Amino acid sequence: MHRYRTHNCGQLRKENIDETVKVSGWVHSVRDHGGIIFIDLRDHYGLTQIVIDPSQSFYKGIEHWRVESTISFTGKVVARIPEAVNPRLATGDIEVVAEEMETLGEAKVIPFQVSKEEECNETLRLEYRFLDLRRESLHKNIVLRSKVISRMRELMTGEGFMEIQTPILTNSSPEGARDYLVPSRVHPGKFYALPQAPQQFKQLLMTSGFDRYFQIAPCFRDEDARADRSPGEFYQLDMEMAFATQEDVFEVNEKVLHKIFSEFSDKKIDDIPFKRIPYLEAMDKYGSDKPDLRNPLIIQDASELFRGCDFKAFAGVVASGGVVKTIAAKGCAGRSRKFFDDLIKFAQGVGSKGLGYLRWIDGEVQSPIAKFLSEETINKLKKLGGAEDGDVMFFIADKKKEATSIAAAVRDELGKQLELIDPDVFKFCWIVDFPMYELDDEGKVEFSHNPFSMPQGGKDDLENKDPLEILAYQYDIVCNGTELSSGAVRNHSPEMMIKAFDIAGYDKSVVESKFPALYKAFQYGAPPHAGIAPGVDRIIMLLADEPNIREVIAFPMNQKAQDLLMGAPGEVEFNQIRDLHLQIKLPKKVEKEAEATEE
């Protein structure tokens, strides 16, 4: 017999009855039924019920056991009596009558329940992550993650992609986020950087003659946490294709994503090809370049209908170059006053000065702003929104950028409040035709998305078109309001690269110094190429139906980018600092806090 187990805790069935077996695992729960002890023993695979009779020599020691201790039992498999059968368990038809017991690892008093999915302080969960991972829901998420990544590899290989590993220690380059830097011991004063993405390496692989590359790539960015973004590091399904168009990238990704979401979820998923939405249309209709298409509400522009009207608050905004955005919502005119007051507070909470509305009840329009609007204007607004009796139109007035952002947030909130969002579907779309350039706050032209993208009109657009009218072959893939990835057809021409950066205010020397490998490689016969990198963590978060990305990562950091289990970031020995030719100079505030702690 095996030292620890002949079967795992999810394996035994009716056909094993009368067999003598050994099982090992964690004590999930203990129940005393008139002297006979029932233990649910748990391992990675499931639960097995163990029965301990008072006549057993090890019975007296049971009172010293604690849940989550690791125990091994040897005993005979027997059928449960009919009324004790548990159909919720795969092993629910049998139980093991213990004849021998060995304690493999005793547990202290646990800081939170493992056997029950109770709410628990997140700091405590992360500090004891090894216990947290024993909980059923989190354990399932990590198993799901493993299966999804394994299937991704199968699908990508099946599409003709080669998995190639790219360096973790590389050079710092300006890619939008803050780098994690690693000081060099053998090159004093110089630093490596952890890659924000394998962007340059995968493009170099295309110039090296490889046709289709992919990698489950770790990426490192020193940025703040969000519900759908883990601080520090994340993983992406990174890919690049030579001699490829935008549509080639779409076709591969749609195949892979459709299969992943179909195979690992029971939710309904859009048929392929997924919907394509131009960037400007997405911003006009949804106020966002990552719209949740489960929400049927649409944003419209009502600016001209308020121009010169007696409602000065809106007319003044339009006269000064601002806009009025409106959202028509069906069937909610009869909602309580609290509903409308709460919605106004929400709008104010996301930056709005207020939230106007018109509601039609029993053939009449009711609204605090109705008295400032002519009957003709109200009728035109009603026609614009397709409003009928029982409907409401909401209005946001502000500068265009602010009004768009506020309207997007109000649209999302209305979708939740009115229960318009179907939780049992996945709605995908591609956002396409991103502008190549935009103006910064000082009115200077800058890249709006990805500086390495190919302009749709090629060299001619760069030389002859207004930069703000140039569209790029850039695209995002979005699911249920979550951006899974950005991608692009790459600008593989060194001459066009120089011109593209020149428009954004960077001369040739910047390209040569900041991106020397790409610039050099592109001068030796670079093929047209394109790629994308869907976020693995976000995909699994959606599949697991979790609201926070930390629920699908085995050992995540907290919102302050701290690993509470391992104690990172932490202090290091003086000789380690010395070997790296560094000196520590703490900010005065941190220095004072350290001195106070020592005292």
Phi, psi of 536 (to 5 degrees): -65, -45
Q: Where in the chain is the domain with CATH 2.40.50.140?
A: 14-105
Q: Where in the chain is the domain with CATH 3.30.1360.30?
A: 295-421
Nearest to 489 by CA among 454, 437, 448, 442: 454
CA-to-CA dists, residue 308 to 3, 314, 424, angstroms: 86, 9, 45
Residues of the chain with pLDDT under 70: 63, 174-176, 590-599
pLDDT score recorded for residue 587: 86
pLDDT score recorded for residue 276: 98
Cβ atoms of residues 282 and 408 within 8 Å: no
Q: Check: CATH 3.30.70.2740 for 14-105?
A: no
Q: How many CA atoms lie within 13 A of 535 on its CB side?
A: 26
pTM for this entry: 0.92
CB atoms within 10 A of CB 48: 29
Looking at domain 295-421, its CATH architecture is: 2-Layer Sandwich (3.30)
pLDDT score recorded for residue 598: 57
pLDDT score recorded for residue 597: 58
pLDDT score recorded for residue 310: 84
CA-to-CA dists, residue 134 to 116, 123, 125, 149, 442, angstroms: 11, 17, 11, 21, 53
The residues near 84 (Cβ < 8 Å, ≥ 6 apart) are 95
CB atoms within 10 A of CB 329: 25
Tokens standing for 62? 């049971």
CB atoms within 10 A of CB 257: 24
pLDDT score recorded for residue 34: 79
- For 8-45, letters b (16+ CB in 10 Å) and e give bbbbbeeebeeeebbbbbbbbeeeeeeeebebbbbbee
